[in-house]
Structure formats: structure tokens, C-alpha cells
Structure 1
Amino acid sequence: MKWRVHGLAVATALCLSTPAWLALPALAAPTPQSPTDPEVASQWANPAIRAEVPTDQDGQQLIGLELIEADDLATAEIEPGQPLTLKLAITNYADAAISDISLQARRADTAWTTSQARRTLSFDISDYSQLGATQQLLEPIAPGESREVSITTPTAIDATDSLRLSPDTVQAMMIALSGNLESGDYNGNQLLATERMLVSVGDSDPDEPTIAEDAEAVVTPDEQIPGLGLIYPLSATVDIVPGETGTAPEEAPLILASEQLAGQLAPGGRLDELLSVYRTATTTGSGATELNESSCLAIDPALVDTVERMSQGYTVSETRPSRTPTAQRLRDSWNSTDASESGEQGSGVDDAQRWLEQLRETAAQGCILALPWANADLNAVGATANQWLYREALERGPATLQLILGTTPTGNIVVPGSGYITEQAALGLGWADQSQSEILEKGMSGAWETDAATHTSQDSDDTEDSSLESTDTPAENTVTPPEPASTVSVLVSDNSIWQMPTADRFASLAPGINGVTFQGSLGALLAATGPNPSTVGYSDPVARFDYRLDSVTSRAISAGAALRLSVAEETFPGDWAQTAQPVLAIAPTDLDPTTASVLLDTTSDLLADDRASALPIDVAVTPTPQQQAELDSQPLTAGGSGVERFGSPYSDPTSISDTEILSASQQARYTDDLTRMTVNSSGIALSRYGFTLPLRRDILTALSGTYRNSIGTHDEAVDNSNQLLDDNRETLQDLRGSVALIPPGNVYTRASESSPLLIVAENGLPLPVTAELAYSGPEGAYITVPEQVSIPANGSITVQMTAELPADQDQTQLTLWLSTLDGAPISTPVDITVQTRAGIVSTYGIGLLIVVGLALALLFRFGRRRRAQRRTRS
């Protein structure tokens, strides 16, 4: 599509944009809120738009209208004047029949920008004023019935009953369904349903020069062709049963809660189709080379790691065998079933092997990069202020892809699923610098040990005795991330940065951290695709609605048209920019095969027609020397109290709530405590960090943004996250509860003041535990405890203590517990009662008096009996 610039384009873009400083920034809700909650419902869908059709009490449409086939739009562009044939399905969800049914094609005014195009899809039917052909249905549709129908409408400018689609444009069209719903308040002929989409119309003169004669901006042809890059995600929900812990030398057996992932990997499944479509598009055809250069696979490392484990065999079970064996009699175990035999063998081993091998071949031939682990919401991860969660989310992924796929990913690129980054989260992006990462050489376990040794060295320089002190925020959680040695680029919406140094589409967010912006309106349109369309926090709430009102096919076609429009929009940037800015199209992480095919075909067409040039992702994120110099010349602005410089410009109902973040941060801290209290052993292959690694991954999975940002799946995603956090908390409690003190009994009696106190410490973990013995007691009680208590793996040890207890008390109550070396409690406190020497003496004295008294009583009684016997004989 060769673009003809109109003065209206600039005016429309300015009118439809909202200044960031006037917008309401995104704030996490205190607790999760459903999209049906009146407090947040308007943040998901503007109640003033798309509300012209009848609905039930739950807001669901009574009549469904769905586009199921549009051969003319298969390539996302139609020829000028070409008649348009659409096949639709009408479904009656009401309790009464509909009659006098008619379908009419309509269109709105031409959209000159992607922002305007997005807004047009939300307009009232009266704004679709150009009327096309009408199709009448003679037969009524009964309740519960679904019927397929086709409608053909002319599009030529001079045709009768035509939509009059102008060449080289993108226009919003509608199919309006009217009829008589013979039910209650809905009697009478009225609008019952609509189906809307963006339609891209091709060039009327293929030989026309790319530069339009009426263009306002005068630039060279090379400058008019924008670069185009497509980020193509491969991601899926991984439902590993929570509670897994690390093992060695072999990895723990994989237990999945269902076969949903196997279904996606099977032939015809979502992941199989996504990879197959991409492989075909980038390896076959005349434009495959350019498309391969212009696109990049963004892969979820959690998905690849799980599929690799699946390829070696797995079990399907809703529960995980207990890690703590229960004591039972031999005869009770004769008819019992071993926990390890629970569940069924997974059926997706072969498909996992096949899919993984195809992914390796594809990765070797093109670009790949790592998404955050499990598509974790980086803003929520940043809010936990936990170093190791952030490092697992960002630093682990590229190394995992390289180890499993055998191809080095493009490093130092972060793609947040939310489309924006908060200031708090930006501080941790330094962990994404692969140039400083040693994870391939030492693993994350090596990084943990290096960090632990550093803190141990620092603690040894302290003169204060803090053995009994406890901290709620360990030092590990407040470590400042390293400043990147090589620039880290984070891809964010262009309206999410407003007070930072900028140079064209680049912005300095922090030292060594660059924000690389993409068109927010394009990102919002691409996100609203697939069976579960997403609402992105950076989108203007005025134009938000329930995107499921339009079919998957219609929204896929709209995505392709929006991509064409964004490229045309940059072809003539206007007075505010002298050169065309590159276009970055970032598909949603839950991308569906239908939309994937449209985006690949559209990208290929744009490159083949020289309307865009291939833009490799590493080039897209690299400023030119002039841009970098402009960034360097501007000082980073300091944000004051309550001053936001970048982030979501609007309210984001999809963000993870404060309650969930608090729970995740607490569990991450407990996991760190559990790791620190265990000790690596030369005789045990398992490392302490490797033992607790799956627990951190469970937390990241609970913070995933997948399906949380869709109206239809938000509540289920929140429930799954909360259940995962609950299960993880129980696991942590069980693990920490397996390290405990066993008191000697109700009362501990000392023979003398120098007699030691004895207590047994047990450890049910597969690694040794080093801990401190902490206590509390009355004033004057002092216990000399060992500096460290080393408990062997899956064993116990008797700890000996000396005590100075108040001499004026018969008994002394003491509370003892195990803690980490920095004072964080480990075990449940136990109470013991110590019998003092004074108490022993007094007890012995009373006992002696009782014995003497009993002896005297017996002698007296015996004497009386003998005297009575003498009197009887006499």
C-alpha cells in the first residue's frame, strides 16, 4: 500500500492521543479484582461503547455473529474494486427465535493512523455511515440454533450498494445483524449483533512511485522505507505440579498436572502449528530470506526446559508424592500403594522430542531471544525486591536456550509481557546483561556461593554481636544489580516514557538501560487477538472493550491491516521527524496460529513490495552514534517522591495485586533462608541452590502474566496463581518443619548446676544444615550454646549446652529454636522446663519426711497390734 498523506492524519493523531502527564498511572490493586467488579469493570471495557446490542443479565450477547471465512482477506489486503465475500455464523443464545433477519455491510471513514484505526473499531454504528450490500434471511433461527450465511458486497468507488473502499487505505468495516427477537423487551426489529474488522486495500497502480506527489515531507527514497521487525513468541502455560525440589545427579521426575501441554505439541496443536507456520514462512518461497532476517523467535525458556524434560518421560498427576515418609507398621503397608506409583505415564514424549528437534533446526537458522522465565510479570518480580527471583526471570533464560537448543540467543534484550516497565522494575534489568553473566560457567549455584561468600566476609568485619538478631529483609534482597557492561534494551510502548532523556525511539531509563519504544496502538491491536484477547495497560481506556465481541478471524485480519497501516504511517513521518522510524511488531505471548499466519504473510508482503526493509532485532535495539550521543548529552532526571518518569500511562487492571506480590516476596525470602541454612557437601552431588531452584520457579510461574490480561480468563488465572502460591507455601513449611528440635521430655532434671542440657536436632533435608541454637527465658537465665549446629543430611545430632539459671526458682521455663546464621528462625520453637538444684533438694526433703512419717506410722500401728494381742492372751 503506497500512502497518500492527508492533512487530516496529523490532526487526528494529535486529537486521539492523550498526554502522558494527564493520564492516570498504573497502580497495583491491594487485592485481586475480577473484571466483573464494578470498581474496575470500566477499566477493562468502556461501558459507553459497543453496548448497542441486547445482552443477558451477565452482559453476554444474546445473538452471536462470527466471521468464519474470508478468502478475499486471507492475505490481509484486497485489490481495489474487488467484491468482498464473507462467510459468517449466526448463533441464537436467547430463549426465543429471531426472525426478519438481515445482514448489512457498512464502513467508517478512512483511518490514517493505527491509533485512529483502533478507536474506530469502538465507534457506534452511526459512525459506519457508508452502506454496502444487504442480505435477507427468510427462515427464522430457533433458540440454540447456529446457521452459516454468506454475504457479498461491492467495494468499487462507482458501484451500487458498495462500501466504496479507496485504494491505498485502511478502513474499518462492519457487518450489522438486525432482526426481530421475539422475547420480552426485545420485540421489534433492531440491531442484534455486529462484527467489525480493519480492511487494507491495495494500490490501484502498482507501477506508481513510492513517493506520493502530495507528500508534505520531502525525503530521499531510502529514508522513506521504514525498517520492519517482527517478534514472534513461542510460549505456553507450564503446569508442573508444585512442590518439586531439586535432586542430583539426575533431575527430579517431571510431574505435570494435565496433558494440555502435550496437546499443544501434538500435530495440529497450537505450539506445533505456530512452529510449523514460522518454519515454512522463513524457509520456503522467494521472500523467506528477508522474512527470516526481519523476524526473531522470542522463546519462553520455561517452556523449552519443560518440553526437554517431557522428551525423557513424565507422569501426569494432580498431586505430588509426599516427600516426608510417615511411620507405619509393617502389616499396615502390605496392601498400600507406593506414592511413587501414583499418576499415569504421559503420552506426549514422542511429540515433545519431535517438536524440540524442529525448534533446534529453526533456531540454528535464524534469530532467537529469551522471554522472561514463564512469562513472569517483570513489574511484579521487581516489586518483590528479591535478587534471585529477578535473576531467575532474566539471567537464566538465555543460558537455558543455549544449552538445550545449541544456539546462542541474541542477548541483552528484555521483552516485558506488560509492554511497559516500572521504575522499580527497571532497577533490576542489569541482571539481563549476558556479557557479565557466568551462569554457563558456574551456574546460578556458583553465583549464589560467590554472593554468600561476599556477605560472609562483610559480616566477619562487624564488631557487633548480632547472633540473636533477626531481619525481615536479608541482605541478599537489597543488593544493587550490577551496572551493565553492555547496554540492556527493554522493549516498551512509546507512550510509557515521558520524563526521561530520549532520542527518537530510544530513551535512557537507568545507567546502561535503554528503553526501545514500539507503537503502542499497534501493540494494543496485536494483543487483542486470539481466543483470549488481551487488554494491555498502556492502551487508552476510552477505546477498551470486550474484544471477544469480534471473532478470532476478524481480529487477525485487523492485526494484519494495522501492521500495514503502521508501516505506511512511518513512510511519511511528517514535519516532526525527517526519517521514517522503524516498526517493531511484537505479537502477544499467547499468539494463535491464525493471527501468526496473517502477521507472517503481511510482513513478507511488505518486504517483498519494498514498502519496508528487513530489520534484524539486534539492529532495531541499537541506537545510531548520533542517537547515542544525544542520549549521553542529557542527564538522567531524578524522580522525586511520588513522581513517575516512566511506566504505564493509564490504569492497568491486569497488574498483579499487592497481596499477591507480598505473598510471593515472603515465599522468596523463606526460600532464600532455606537455601542459606543448608550446606553443600562434597559427598552429595546436589547443591543447596539447586535443591531450592524449583521453588523459585513456582513463584515465577505464579507471577506470570499469561491469561491474566484477558477478560475471559483473568479470574481463572488469578485462582491458579493463588493456588500455586498456597501449595508453594505448604511445601516451604514442610521443608522447614523437617529441621526441628526434639525436647527431652516435659521436665528436664539436672543433678547439679554443672550438668549439661541435652536436646536433639533432626534434619529431614537431603543436605546438611548449619544453624544456630537460639533461646529465650526469664531474666537471669543464660545458656551457652555452640556457635554453629551442623546437622547431617537426613539425620540427627544431640546438642549439649551449659546453663546458668536463677537459683531462687525451683523450675525455669526455656524456649529454644533453630535459626539461620543471620538470625532468621528455622524451626518451630519448643518449650522445656528445667528443674533446678534447689527444687531437687526441696523435693528430696519432702520425700524423706514422707517416708519417715510412713515408717513411724507403721511402727506405731504394729506396736498397738502387739499390745492388743498380749491383752487377749492374758
Structure 2
Amino acid sequence: MIVAVLTILGSATTLPTLLPGAAQAQPTGTGSATGPKFLKLSLDSVTPTAVTTTSDPVLTVSGTVTNIGDRRVEDISVRVQRAAAITAPSNLRAALRLDQVNYDVNGDFEEIATLLDPGDRKKFTVTIPLRGGGASATTSLDISKPGVYPLLLNVNGEPAYGTQARLDDARFLLPVLGLPPVPNSADSSETGQPVAAPTDAPVATTLLWPLADRPRLVAGHPGSADGKAELTDDELAASLGKGGRLDQLLAALESVFDTVPGRDRTLATSVCLAVDPDLLITAQAMTKGYRVLASPSDPDGATRPGTGAAQAQTWLARLRTLAGSMCTVALPFAQVDLAALAAVNDPDLSARAMNAPAEIVDSILATKSVRGVSLPDSGSIDTSAGILLRSHGFGTAVLADSAVATEGTAGTSEASQQTTSRGDTKNQPTVTQNTVNQTAEHTAPEVVRLSGVTAAVPAPAPAPPAAEPAVPNGNPAAPAVDPALHAATFDIWSATALAAVGSNPPTPSFTPAKVRYEVTNDSRAARLQDALGAISWSALNPEPNQPRSLLLVPPQQWGANKEEATALLRQIELLVRGNLAVPRPFHELVAQPPNPQPYELDYLPQAAQDAVPDRFVAPVRDQGRRISDLTRALVEVPEAEPTPRQFLDPLRDDLIRVLSLSDRRTGDATQADTFAQRRIDQTTRAMDKIYGSVTVLPPGGVYTLASEQSPLLLVARNDLPVSIRIKFLIEAPAETKITDLGEEQLPPKGTRSFQIPTEVSDSRNLVIPISLTTPDGIALGNATSVSVRSNAYGQALAIITACAGLLLFLLAGRRLWRRFRGQPDPADEGFDPSTRRRVNRYRRAKKRVIQQEHQEAQ
């Protein structure tokens, strides 16, 4: 029989053999995992979450052990281990994958259960002093100075048919901002006194607070004055309602930064709300009543009433209150992929995606947001996206510090060269201390100038006189506009840790391949601890020749709950109160002068892989062009709604949502691709219907002209809720001459008759094709044809009429000539004279009667 070997942690140095049927026991935590699983260890809480000079000197860790195997496990025990303090920011991630042998400071094993059958679980709590030297302490974590320390919670047990072995572990970071005194210390020297972190170089800290959601509005619905919105599902109602994701993100801010007058608002200045305008549009539409698809996979199917109108109203009101007292900045519309938007190259679509967000945020939230700053969802853009930003007036893009490189070095860094296939984040090899030491550092100045990313910048709107800064001579100062794009960089390691907080955590595109792993193997409590450590590292570790600056950027669809988000805010507050950090407003950060060294964009391969596929670019471009063509034909009528912009902007928004990066970093983009294709199809059908709503009505039967110059009567119909300018396209046969009416206008939801001057020189039935176009010649509606028949005989009729008139004139002249000469007309020969006299008397009598009746009538 084959004998399996159990890997034993701790001080065990032998490899015991097992009875037949035993299997190898391996950890299932952050580290590698192969072979059968017996126990699952989950971290529930850590107290204190951050150590200070006034905190408890004992670390308390609570967790849960669950038997996930198919056999019982006996003699289960747990201990805490510590590795060396993290000395490089990249190790904030890499250290969590260190092999257990690198956690060389060990606590004592504490038995937590004698037996766990399959499916059973056991909660436990273990404690260990932070420092040695106490009178009763035997072992401790032996932490002697502030820093961020990796800790490992190790569980051992004996599976049936096996021997004692390490069965799982849980890793997390512990930020130590200071050390409390050692209790009951026999040593009164400095070794037992509190140890505080140096406060001579506090880090300037800025935190973006994202509020975004994936696109929810059903595509293919143009704007209307009284129509109700349709949503794909009602999940947003739950998210905005009490206990929902977006509700809790607001609640965390409200609990820390209340709006009570007189409160210290210093910390609040470091936080800037980053709001998705698409979320605001959707929430506002919900307040007016909305419908929800009965089946999200059937966008043309039945709908049901939505249930979130009140929740959306309340949430928006709370957000307006916060936005009125805090910094606010607009996110790109629907987390649009700026590289894909640049590839579409549609000016109107780009303007809607890039210039409208700030206006939408300001309008709905009644605030004034930070302008000229873009926050790409991926944290990395290519050159075409950068040029697009600059050409639309954006002076700064917030990018990962690994997404820029000194000029001439783009593509040479480890982050630029390494990537993993989509979804390949599991079963990565175990990281050793050597691997951690080799992990590349990505540091960039807080603001850099991208000298190669330039574009013509639109002229800014004139500022009111009161807002113009004055110079000593009294003339207003006009700051020079840098044609190059600036990049405000954020730390990728803290951003990666923040992304792991909460539910459904993504792995950001800027996270290097060497440290990408499935973070859901860790508990939420462990991931929160990692984030607390990551945001504290810069404050505790001043780097030579590096600015003391930290920009914290969580993912735009952040899944942190109220407790987690509040804990992160309280950690920043703790750093500020301890003089380890100072709040820095977001607008001050982006206004910083750039580093004098030139930089260039370094588009990360993983960002390119997570991007919107190229196959969606052409359909979006085609439909965007159709919307622009129609926009030029529509007419804005004063005080009439919807306006052309209100009517067509929802369809442009649908195309922007096709290019959304939402749900594209989950490891499987199938759902995102399905949503994108569905939106393309629905928008295409909607545009087909709109173009077909303006048409010329086909006349019934054959149209008969009274004469060769009678007008042709046509009726055009406009089923759109806006007026439109049209032109008739008539393919006149050679036998007809039809006058071009030029540009005409159709009223909304109505018809109009037109008389078109026509000359027909043929009496045959003629078929005349007729259609409508925009003034630019874009076809509208369906072409029709008119069968025309004229009563005109053309030149032959004119000759016959002339000959008949000439003959009549000759005969009348002949008769008068003979009468004047007193000669009887040969035509009168054979006519009886008496009969002639009676006829003459009858004519005279009839004439008298007629005259008499006429006199009586007068």
C-alpha cells in the first residue's frame, strides 16, 4: 500500500507515516492547497484591530473551525505565529502567501476541540501577549517596534486514519501604530515602556469613496416626457434600502462624518465622494415609479412594478446632504472602458460619456463637483484614451502607480510583462521569502506629467469676475494650460487590499500576476485586517526620496459593509490623531505641480485582457453614428418636451453601457459579454424603429392628375415625440418634372400634407418612387411608390385642338361672307321658308318670355 505523508507545522521535525487509507492534510487558507481537505479555519475577529500605545497589550483572535472532510478529526489545537515586519509595500500582498516556515515567532498551541465530526464546527478564542517581559507571560508575539506584521493562525488536528498534522491556516496583517507598556513587568527600564511610532513625517492622505453600481436600465428605450423606466432586476432597490450595499456605504460616512454644526470636519476633508452618474440617473428614475423585467434574460418580456421608489428617494436625499458638505467627483459614466471608447471614435458619444457625468452629478446632487479629473475604473489607460481625455478638457487622470513609467521604459516593468489568463487565480505556487523579496516595487511620484499625451484642449468657460484671482498689478491672473495630461497616482498595494474588503471582492487589473490569488479563501475579517495594515504601512514606513503622500482608491463597485467601511475610516482617523497622517483634500492633490521628470503611459497587459472585447467597438460606432445623424435632423421646440437631447441621450447611454468594465474582473466575463451583446441588439432594434417612425404614407390606387400641371398630393407621418426636418426623395421618370420642395418640417406625433408641383407629359400610368430622408440624405421610414395617370394628351392634343379651331373659324367666316352678299348658303338649300319663319317667330317669343321673367325677378 502507498503510505501518505502529513506535513506538520510548528516544532515537529519528523514525517510520521499513516495507516492505509490515510491522506495528506494540507492548508486551505491563502497558501497553496493540494490533497484532501479536513478542516477549514476562518478568522472571525481580531482585538485590537490596530495596536496603539493605549490599546490592550494582549492580542485576542477569534475564529471558527469547520470539519469539511469526510472523516472525524480529533485533538484540534490552534496557535498564533508571526513573521517579520513588512519592509516593502509590495509585501503587503506577497507576505500573505509566505510559507508557514517564515512565520518564525510561535505562540503555544491551545486545544479548542477534542473531536469534530464531518460537518461540525467549533468557535474559539485565543490570546497572546504582544510583547514579552510580563511576570506571568511564557510566550508572546515578541513585537518590539511599530510596523505592519503578518500573522498566521495555525490549526492542527488528527484525522481518522492519520496522525497529528497542520490542517489549515489563516493569514492576516496586524498594524502596530505603537506598543502599550508591558503589564506587571519586573523590568522598569525602557524595554517595558510604551513605544510610539515616529511622527516627524506624517503622510498626506486622501481617500476616494466610490458609489457605483453595474448598469441596470433596460436598453432600447428613448426618452419621453412621461414614460416609466424599466430595470433589468430589482437588486438596486435592495442595495439602496436599509442594510443594502450602497446604503451601508453612506451609513459609514454618516456615522463618522455627521453634519452636526460645530463638529471638527478636518478628517472629512480627506474624503471625496466618487459617484457614478449612471447610478444617479437610475436612482432618480426609480423615484418616479418604474418597472422591472419579470425575467432578466427576456428584455422584451413581461414586467412587474418595482419596489424601490421610496428607498431611492431616501438614499438620494442622504447623498445630497453629504455631497453638500464634502468633496464630490464624477466617475466615468457606467465605468466605461476609456480605451474602448477611444477606439469607437464617436465625438458625440465621447462627449456624453466624458463631459456629461459632472453635469449629471451636479444637477441631481445640487453640488459643484471637482472638474477636469477622470477616474478610469481599471486604473490603467492606453495612449488613445489619454488623448481622448485631454481633448475633452481633462487635465488629470487618477491611475495606478504601475500604469505610468519614466519616459522610454514603458513595457519593461514586471507588471507590464506578466499577466495570467482570465480566471487563472487559483493553485498558484506557494510564495517564499525569496519570492517576496523579488517582487517588483512600483513607485511613482504623486503627480506626473505625461509629456507624450497631448491634445487640443477646449477653451474653459469664463469665470465670474469675483472668482478671478488678482495679481499685484490688479490684473486677473490667467494660469497657463498645460497641453499634456497629468496623472495622479495611487498605491496599488493598498488599493488591492481595499478591493478585497467586503462581498464579491475582485482582483484589480493592476495587481501583479505573482501575487494574484483567490482572496475569498480568506474570511472577511482577515481581508479587513489586511486592508487596515495596507493603509497604515506608509504612515509607519517613511521611504527615502519619496513624497509623504497616500491616495487610497477602493474599487468603484465596492462591497464593504458599514462595519468594514467604518473600521477603515476610523483607522485613518487613528492615524491622523496619532500625527502619523494629515488629511489632504482631493482637489489639492490633483492641483500639485507634476514631477519634473517626464513620464509615459504603461498600459498594463491585465487591464488590456480585462477590457471590453474589440468585437463590440464596430457595432457601437455604427449605432452611435445613426444617433448623431438623427440628432441633426430633430428640431428643438421651445417649452416642448422631450427635447431632442432628452429623447436620444438614453440611447447614447445604452451604447456607453455596452462598453462598461463592470463585472469584467470576476475571472469569467461571459455574463458581461452577454449583457453587452443584449444592449447592442436592443439599441439597434430601437434605432430601426425610430428611423421607421418617419415615413410617407402610400396613396391607395392610381393617382389621377386633372391636367398635365396638377400638383401631386402626398402625406408624411411622424410618430416621434419630437419635430423633425425632412426632405422628399422622388425619383421622377423622364416623362415628368417634379419640383423639389427642399427642407420641410413634420410636427411631433402628427401628419402633414404636401402639394408637390408636377408636370406630366405622358398619359400612360407612371410609377414614381418616393421616400423621405433627413436634410443630410439619411433615409427615413420605408420607401413607397405612386402610380400616376394624367388626362393630358400632350402635343397631339394641342395640334388637334388647333386644327378644329381653325376649321370652325373658316366655316363661320364663309357663312357670314355669303350673308353679307345676300347669297344663300348652300348649306341652307332644301330648308322650307315657312318653316324658317316659324322657327324665327318661336325664337323671338322665347326671347320675350325670358326678358319678362328677368324684369319680374328684378
TM-score by length of 1: 0.68
**2:821 is equivalent to residue 821 of structure 1:** no
* Percentage identity across paired residues of the two chains: 26
Alpha-carbon displacement from aligned partner over 1:391-431 (angstroms, at most 9, x marks no partner):
3333223323333333222222222221122211122324x
Q: Aligned ranges for residues 243-254 of structure 1 at < 5 Å?
A: 243-248=220-225, 252-254=227-229
**2:405 is equivalent to residue 498 of structure 1:** yes
Q: Which one-letter code corresponds to 2:781 in the other structure?
A: S
Contact 1:756–1:803 (Cα < 8 Å) also in 2: yes
Aligned to 1:609: 578
Pairwise CA distance, 1:275: 1.4
Aligned to 1:596: 565
**2:51 is equivalent to residue 84 of structure 1:** no
| 3-state SS of 1:365 partner | coil
| 3-state SS of 1:535 partner | coil
| Distance in structure 2 (CA, Å) of the matches to 1:261 and 1:290 | 33
Aligned to 1:307: 283
**2:719 is equivalent to residue 764 of structure 1:** yes
Q: Are residues 265 and 50 of structure 1, via their aligned partners in 2, closer, same or farther at CA, if it must alter by over 3 Å?
A: same
| Distance in structure 1 (CA, Å) of the matches to 2:768 and 2:41 | 73
Equivalent of residue 351 in structure 1, options 306, 311, 314: 311
Q: Aligned ranges for residues 482-561 of structure 1 at < 5 Å?
A: 484=393, 488-500=395-407, 505-508=447-450, 509-510=453-454, 511=483, 513-561=485-533
| Distance in structure 2 (CA, Å) of the matches to 1:92 and 1:802 | 90
Q: Which one-letter code corresponds to 2:270 in the other structure?
A: S
Pairwise CA distance, 1:52: 1.9
**2:686 is equivalent to residue 711 of structure 1:** no
Contact 1:85–1:150 (Cα < 8 Å) also in 2: yes
| Distance in structure 1 (CA, Å) of the matches to 2:304 and 2:77 | 54
| 3-state SS of 2:172 partner | strand
Aligned to 2:652: 696
| Distance in structure 2 (CA, Å) of the matches to 1:188 and 1:816 | 90
Q: Which one-letter code corresponds to 2:235 in the other structure?
A: Q
Pairwise CA distance, 1:683: 7.0
**How many aligned residue pairs are there?**
682
Pairwise CA distance, 1:777: 11
Pairwise CA distance, 1:561: 0.6
| Distance in structure 2 (CA, Å) of the matches to 1:208 and 1:83 | 15
Contact 2:736–2:761 (Cα < 8 Å) also in 1: yes
**2:55 is equivalent to residue 113 of structure 1:** no
Pairwise CA distance, 1:369: 1.8
Alpha-carbon displacement from aligned partner over 1:553-605 (angstroms, at most 9, x marks no partner):
21121111101102333x3x21x44xx33111112222212432222011111
Contact 1:50–1:124 (Cα < 8 Å) also in 2: yes
Q: Which one-letter code corresponds to 1:198 in the other structure?
A: L
Pairwise CA distance, 1:616: 1.0
Quick one: higher RCO (CA 8 Å, sep 6+), 1 or 2? 1
| Distance in structure 2 (CA, Å) of the matches to 1:651 and 1:342 | 37
Q: Which one-letter code corresponds to 2:718 in the other structure?
A: N
| Distance in structure 1 (CA, Å) of the matches to 2:700 and 2:164 | 84
| Distance in structure 2 (CA, Å) of the matches to 1:790 and 1:550 | 65
Contact 1:758–1:800 (Cα < 8 Å) also in 2: yes
Q: Are residues 679 and 194 of structure 1, via their aligned partners in 2, closer, same or farther at CA, if it must alter by over 3 Å?
A: farther
Equivalent of residue 381 in structure 1, options 305, 318, 341: 341
| 3-state SS of 1:51 partner | coil
| Distance in structure 2 (CA, Å) of the matches to 1:180 and 1:53 | 18
Aligned to 1:202: 177
Alpha-carbon displacement from aligned partner over 1:451-506 (angstroms, at most 9, x marks no partner):
xxxxxxxxxxxxxxxxxxxxxxxxxxxxxx45x4xx72211111211255997632
Pairwise CA distance, 1:751: 11
| 3-state SS of 1:110 partner | coil
Pairwise CA distance, 1:827: 3.5
| Distance in structure 1 (CA, Å) of the matches to 2:639 and 2:221 | 22
Aligned to 2:109: 134
Moved more, 780-789 or 356-365: 780-789
Aligned to 1:372: 332
Q: Which one-letter code corresponds to 1:565 in the other structure?
A: W
| Distance in structure 1 (CA, Å) of the matches to 2:71 and 2:335 | 44
Q: Aligned ranges for residues 270-669 of structure 1 at < 5 Å?
A: 270-283=245-258, 288-318=264-294, 343-344=304-305, 346-430=306-390, 481=391, 484=393, 488-500=395-407, 505-508=447-450, 509-510=453-454, 511=483, 513-569=485-541, 571=542, 573-574=543-544, 576-577=545-546, 580-591=547-558, 592-593=560-561, 594-624=563-593, 627=594, 630=596, 645-648=601-604, 650=606, 652-669=608-625
Aligned to 1:236: 213
Aligned to 1:52: 33
Contact 2:31–2:97 (Cα < 8 Å) also in 1: yes
Q: Are residues 806 and 665 of structure 1, via their aligned partners in 2, closer, same or farther at CA, if it must alter by over 3 Å?
A: farther
| 3-state SS of 2:84 partner | strand
Contact 1:535–1:544 (Cα < 8 Å) also in 2: yes
| Distance in structure 2 (CA, Å) of the matches to 1:658 and 1:682 | 41
Aligned to 2:640: 684
Structure with greater Cα Rg: 2
Contact 2:147–2:177 (Cα < 8 Å) also in 1: yes
Q: Which one-letter code corresponds to 1:364 in the other structure?
A: G
Q: Are residues 584 and 777 of structure 1, via their aligned partners in 2, closer, same or farther at CA, if it must alter by over 3 Å?
A: farther
| 3-state SS of 2:265 partner | helix
Alpha-carbon displacement from aligned partner over 1:352-407 (angstroms, at most 9, x marks no partner):
33333332222222222222223333333333222233333332233233333332
Q: Are residues 674 and 127 of structure 1, via their aligned partners in 2, closer, same or farther at CA, if it must alter by over 3 Å?
A: farther
Q: Are residues 585 and 503 of structure 1, via their aligned partners in 2, closer, same or farther at CA, if it must alter by over 3 Å?
A: closer
Pairwise CA distance, 1:755: 8.6
Contact 1:228–1:615 (Cα < 8 Å) also in 2: yes
Q: How well do the aligned residues superpose, as a CA RMSD in angstroms?
A: 4.5
| Distance in structure 1 (CA, Å) of the matches to 2:84 and 2:719 | 71
Pairwise CA distance, 1:69: 2.4
Aligned to 1:438: none
Pairwise CA distance, 1:180: 6.3
Aligned to 1:454: none
Q: Which one-letter code corresponds to 2:276 in the other structure?
A: D
TM-score by length of 2: 0.69
Q: Are residues 256 and 272 of structure 1, via their aligned partners in 2, closer, same or farther at CA, if it must alter by over 3 Å?
A: same
Contact 2:449–2:484 (Cα < 8 Å) also in 1: no
For structure 2, the 5+ residue unaligned runs are: 1-27, 181-192, 409-443, 455-482, 795-858
| Distance in structure 1 (CA, Å) of the matches to 2:672 and 2:41 | 27
Alpha-carbon displacement from aligned partner over 1:505-555 (angstroms, at most 9, x marks no partner):
322343153111122222222223221212222221111111111122211
Moved more, 587-596 or 552-561: 587-596
| Distance in structure 2 (CA, Å) of the matches to 1:358 and 1:660 | 37
For structure 1, the 5+ residue unaligned runs are: 1-46, 56-60, 213-220, 325-338, 431-480, 638-643, 842-874
| Distance in structure 1 (CA, Å) of the matches to 2:309 and 2:44 | 34
Pairwise CA distance, 1:130: 4.0
Q: Aligned ranges for residues 736-775 of structure 1 at < 5 Å?
A: 736-744=691-699, 761-774=716-729
Contact 2:509–2:606 (Cα < 8 Å) also in 1: yes
Contact 1:81–1:157 (Cα < 8 Å) also in 2: no
**2:152 is equivalent to residue 174 of structure 1:** yes
Pairwise CA distance, 1:737: 2.6
